Amino acid sequence: MRLNRFIASYSNLSRRKADELIAAGKIVVNRQVANPGTNVSEKDTVVVNGKKLVATPRSHRIVLLHKPIGYVCSKDGQGSPTVYELLQKSMQNLNIAGRLDKDSSGLVVLTDDGLLMQELTHPSNDKEKVYTVTLNKPLADGAIAQFARGVNIGDARVSKLEVLPLEAGKTYQVRIHEGRNRQIRRSFESLGYRVETLHRTQLGPYKLEPLAPKQFKTL
């Protein structure tokens, strides 16, 4: 098994974080500093930041939370309330898989499973994210097709959105398979629209319903 996957399997670290520690020389395998291509098994001795990693299957936790507008997906809100304030004390070590910005609401998934974190957040895994979006004005004819083809949001790749009208007016369902910074808001802004509300209802296999704002449940 690749070292980064091994670390994610038996700790609360993601593969990305494991790669960072490997590159920094913080991972030792059988008394030798590891490199990114190292393969290991449960028979090997793996030390992470000076602490031996115990290769026994863990019982991971998954928490689904309905984040209200105004809460920050961070442990340090810098003056703003954080989603961790809505959780029990025993859940403070969980990591967020797919953050929402302060002005957005809806489903937040928290877990101590590094592999699940990677599965839900890495673009190569093609996990669908579903949102309900309210705009400042209805979309013009042809805009939905243009979003499907892709729009320029100022970085190296075009942004593709699957947009479906939910009702007459300014409310739409948006489906994406990426998670770039403020991707939906920037995509609509590129065509002259402003997102007034952004609400996530699904992340991969996990759905928000029937949680009310500030409620959470453990899977």
Strand 105-111 and strand 195-203: the pairing is parallel
The helix (H) or strand (E) run that includes residue 116 is: helix 114-121
- The token pair at 41 is 């098994």
- The token pair at 143 is 């805009």
Q: Of these residues, 44, 101, 126, 141, which one is catalytic? A: 101
Q: Are 176 and 158 in contact (CB under 8 A)?
A: no
Q: Has 101 been annotated as catalytic? A: yes
CA proximity to 196, closest of 214, 171, 178:
171
**Which phi and psi angles does 110 have, rounded to 5°?**
-120, 140
Burial (Cβ within 10 Å: 0-12, 13-18, ≥19) of residue 4: buried
Q: Which residues are catalytic?
A: 101
